[in-house]
Chains A and B, each alone.
Chain A
Amino acid sequence: GQQLNQSPQSMFIQEGEDVSMNCTSSSIFNTWLWYKQDPGEGPVLLIALYKAGELTSNGRLTAQFGITRKDSFLNISASIPSDVGIYFCGGWDNNNDMRFGAGTRLTVKP
Chain B
Amino acid sequence: GAGVSQSPSNKVTEKGKDVELRCDPISGHTALYWYRQRLGQGLEFLIYFQGNSAPDKSGLPSDRFSAERTGESVSTLTIQRTQQEDSAVYLCASSLVGGTHPQHFGDGTRLSIL
Contacts and interface: CB of A to CB of B under 8 A. Distances in A.
B65 interface: no
Interface centre among B99, B100, B107 (most CB of A within 10 A): B100
A109 B61 CA distance: 39
B45 A102 contact: no
Interface residues of B, number: 23
A41 B107 contact: yes
Contacts, number: 51
B106 interface: yes
B9 to A, nearest CB: 9
A102 B42 contact: yes
Interface string A67-78: 000000000000
Contact of A33 (B4, B33, B48, B102): B102
B28 interface: no
Interface residues of A, number: 25
Q: Main SS of chain B's interface residues?
A: loop
A40 B41 contact: no
Contacts of A90: 43
Given A1-B59, A42-B91, A92 B100 contact: yes
A98 interface: yes
B59 A102 contact: no
